[in-house]
Amino acid sequence: MADLYVSWEDYRRDNEALARLVYESGWSFDQIVCIARGGLRVGDVLSRIFDVPLAIISTQSYGGEGGTVRGHIRVAEHLTMTTPELGRRILLVDDLVDSGITLDVVRRHLETTREGIEDVRTAVLWYKAVSMIKPDYFVRYLPENPWIHQPHEGYDRMSPASLCVDAKASGAH
C-alpha cells in the first residue's frame, strides 16, 4: 500500500468536488458542523460556498509520533457556533474517514445531545475501505487504505522559533 500525497491543488479540487456532490444531491441543510482539526478547512470551504453557518466540534483520537497513533476518541462537550440554534438538518464534515469511529461517534453525539435534529448527513474528501461506515458524500474511495499526507502537515513539524530562523536565513521579515 503506497501512501497518498495530496498537493494544495489536489486539496482545492477535492473540496470543490465535494461541494458539487452535495449540491447535485439536492439535499439542503441548515448548518455545517466540522470535526476539528481535519474537518476545519473542509468545513470552512463548504460554509463559504453554500453560505451557511459553520459550527465546530473538537475531537482527538490521534497522537504520538507525528500524530499517527490512534487512541481513545474524545469528543468536546460543546460546539462552537455563532447561531443560537444548531438547526434541523446538519451536514457533518471531516477531511477523511479512516476507521469510521470518529465520524460515527460525532454523528451519534449530535443526534443524542441536540434536540430538534431531523437529519445528519456526512461528507468527507477521502473514504477508506477499512471504514466501518460509508459517508453520505465523498470524493475519493480508497480501497488500498493509504496513509494520506495532506499539504498542511508540514506545519506539524514547525515551531515559531524555526520560522524565525528560516526567515532570518532567507532575509525575510
- Looking at the whole model, is its pTM more than 0.85? yes
Query: What share of the chain has pLDDT > 90, as a percent?
Result: 68
Query: What share of the chain has pLDDT > 70, as a percent?
Result: 92
What is the tally of structural domains in the chain? 1
Angle at the Cα of 61 from the Cα atoms of 57 and 63, rounded to 5 degrees: 120
If you count them, how many residues does the chain have? 173
Pairing mode, if any, of strands 89-97 and 31-36?
Answer: parallel
Q: pLDDT band at 60, cuts 50/70/90?
A: confident
CATH of residue 9: 3.40.50.2020
- Picking from 126, 122, 120, the residue whose alpha carbon sits closest to that of residue 22 is 122
Secondary structure (3-state) at 144: coil
Q: Which domain holds residue 101?
A: 4-170
Q: What is the mean pLDDT of the chain?
A: 90
- pLDDT of 143 above 90: yes
- pLDDT of 29 above 60: yes
C-alpha cell at 101: 469511529
Average pLDDT over residues 99-124: 94
Average pLDDT over residues 132-150: 96
171 vs 167, residue with greater confidence: 171
Q: pLDDT band at 173, cuts 50/70/90?
A: low
In the chain, the amino acid numbered 171 is G
- pLDDT of 117 above 60: yes
